[in-house]
């Protein structure tokens, strides 16, 4: 019996010694590849088990903890609305009635009848050039014309009464007509010594002084401007040739004056400039108060696109992935506590205007989109929607 107890004790001691698990350091020091691989597999299994347990614990904590912290975001609802897009360009004011008057005859500028800033009417005499005795020649020729006319009328009466020869009648008629043409030519020449206003306007500048000798096509006399018929001419890129045409709405801003006027495109050119690939557009500018002057700088906003049912979102909430696709976050599964899930959505966008952009595809009318906090959330993340 004593031997039996001794053997049992020895067996227990051997089992205890043999069953003791070796430490990681012992296994690594022994260098047994098979035991090292077994220990690695054992640790991986324990790691998976621990991860699953931690996940279950986190889920339970989230369920029981009323003080959990979720990302706070604000949202905006994407509703269909009218979208008016404007092409912004620059231009300068011009007028078709802004000219410098040149003399048609040579001579001395004897008299100027107007002053700078004076309003004048079409046909009004502005200045006078010395006619060099041409007016006296006209007077003499008119006397000769009167005599020729009397002679012709008398000869005509005689001819009608069958008195006198036909040749006398024809000579009198020819002489009268020749004198009449000569007088008309001299009067036309004399009229050119009067400088007249070609249209209603304002004397902007008197360039040549009285007493100066002037020459046709060389001497600038007076600048006259009409501030009623003003317009802006600007160049539009050829890519807008189908969108910018006659009748399109235009908002014109004058930064210097601090004023804005609304008008329409009066004319769109049919010619594409090969040098810069643009075409010209003419926009009339109302100028009742005459504050708008030629060459004044203006900013034009031409309505090139309108969508009555466009979905617009803030430009700032759009992100882009590695493939160049644009995306936003919409919320789903929203509960009574304003908790929801952020869903990444790929979108296709159109034109921008200011800080908004048109969405062509990707979201529907009424979609709730994350606004503030859109760049800090991730797909599938639980978030809390707050309202300011």
Residue 19 has pLDDT above 80, yes or no: no
305 touches 352 (CB < 8 A): no
Top-confidence residue, 13 or 276: 276
Residue 145 pLDDT class (50, 70, 90 cuts):
confident
CA 246 → CA 90, 168, 305, 323, distances in Å? 18, 66, 14, 41
Residue 20 pLDDT class (50, 70, 90 cuts):
low
Tell me the percentage of the chain whose pLDDT exceeds 90. Answer: 28
Alpha helices (runs of H) in 238-382, residue ranges in sequence order: none
* CA–CA separation, 4 and 302 (whole Å): 110
pLDDT of residue 182: 86
pLDDT of residue 88: 92
Residue 28 has pLDDT above 50, yes or no: yes
Residue 136 pLDDT class (50, 70, 90 cuts):
confident
pLDDT of residue 378: 87
Residue 158 has pLDDT above 60, yes or no: yes
pLDDT of residue 66: 53
pLDDT of residue 222: 93
pLDDT of residue 62: 66
pLDDT of residue 10: 39
Q: What is the rounded average pLDDT of the residues 55-84?
A: 79
Among 5, 89, 31, which residue's Cα sits nearest to residue 302? 89
Residue 16 has pLDDT above 70, yes or no: no
Question: Any idea how long the chain is?
Answer: 388
Residue with structure tokens 């006319």? 149
Mean of all residue pLDDT scores within the chain: 85
* CA–CA separation, 353 and 290 (whole Å): 32
Q: What is the dihedral of CA 209, 215, 220, 226, to 10 degrees?
A: 110
358 touches 82 (CB < 8 A): no
Cite the beta strand spans of 191-269 per DSSP E: 194-196, 201-206, 213-214, 222-225, 230-237, 249-254, 259-264, 267-268
Using a 10 angstrom Cβ sphere, with 0-12 exposed, 13-18 middle and 19 or more buried, the burial of residue 52 is exposed
For the stretch 350-362, pLDDT in tens is 988 888 899 999 8
Largest CA distance in the chain: 193
264 touches 252 (CB < 8 A): no
* CA–CA separation, 31 and 281 (whole Å): 87
Residue 326 has pLDDT above 90, yes or no: yes
Q: What is the rounded average pLDDT of the residues 335-342?
A: 86
Residue 7 has pLDDT above 60, yes or no: no
For the stretch 169-196, pLDDT in tens is 888 888 888 888 888 888 888 888 889 9
* CA–CA separation, 111 and 122 (whole Å): 19
* CA–CA separation, 263 and 303 (whole Å): 11
Top-confidence residue, 121 or 2: 121
pLDDT of residue 14: 40
For the stretch 106-119, pLDDT in tens is 999 999 999 998 99
In this structure, of 61-70, 308-317, 345-354, the range with the lowest mean pLDDT score is 61-70
pLDDT of residue 364: 87
For the stretch 211-244, pLDDT in tens is 899 999 889 999 998 888 889 999 999 999 988 9
């Amino acid at each position: 019996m004593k031997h039996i107890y001794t053997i049992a004790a020895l067996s227990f001691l051997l089992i205890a010694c043999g069953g003791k698990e070796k430490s990681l350091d012992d296994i690594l020091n022994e260098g047994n590849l098979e035991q090292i691989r077994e220990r690695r597999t054992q640790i991986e299994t324990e790691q998976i088990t621990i991860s699953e347990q931690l996940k279950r614990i986190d889920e339970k904590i989230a369920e029981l903890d009323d003080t959990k912290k979720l990302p706070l975001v604000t949202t905006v609802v994407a509703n269909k609305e009218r979208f008016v897009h404007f092409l912004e360009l620059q231009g300068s004011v011009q007028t078709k009635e802004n000219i410098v008057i040149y003399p048609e005859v040579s001579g001395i500028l004897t008299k100027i009848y107007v002053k700078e800033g004076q309003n004048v009417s079409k046909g009004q005499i502005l200045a006078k050039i010395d006619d060099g005795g041409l007016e006296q020649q006209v007077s003499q020729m008119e006397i000769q014309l009167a005599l020729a006319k009397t002679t012709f009328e008398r000869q005509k009466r005689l001819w009608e009464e069958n008195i006198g020869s036909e040749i006398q009648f024809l000579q009198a008629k020819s002489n009268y007509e020749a004198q009449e043409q000569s007088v008309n030519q001299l009067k036309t020449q004399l009229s050119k010594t009067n400088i007249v206003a070609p249209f209603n306007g304002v004397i902007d500048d008197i360039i040549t002084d009285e007493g100066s000798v002037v020459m046709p096509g060389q001497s600038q006399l007076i600048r006259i401007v009409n501030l009623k018929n003003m317009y802006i001419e600007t160049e539009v890129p050829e890519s807008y040739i189908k969108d910018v045409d006659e009748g399109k709405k235009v908002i014109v801003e004058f930064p210097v004056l601090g004023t804005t006027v609304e008008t329409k495109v009066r004319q769109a050119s049919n010619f594409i400039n090969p040098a810069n690939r643009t075409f010209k557009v003419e926009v009339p500018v109302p100028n009742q108060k005459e504050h708008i002057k030629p060459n004044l700088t203006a900013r034009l906003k031409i309505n090139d696109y309108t969508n009555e049912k466009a979905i617009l979102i803030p430009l700032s909430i759009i992100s882009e992935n590695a493939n160049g696709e644009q995306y936003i976050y919409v919320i789903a599964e929203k509960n009574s506590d304003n908790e929801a899930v952020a869903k990444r959505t790929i979108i296709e966008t159109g034109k921008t205007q200011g800080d908004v952009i048109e969405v062509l595809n990707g979201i529907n009318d009424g979609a709730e989109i994350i606004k503030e906090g859109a760049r800090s959330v991730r797909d599938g993340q639980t978030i809390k929607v707050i309202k300011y």
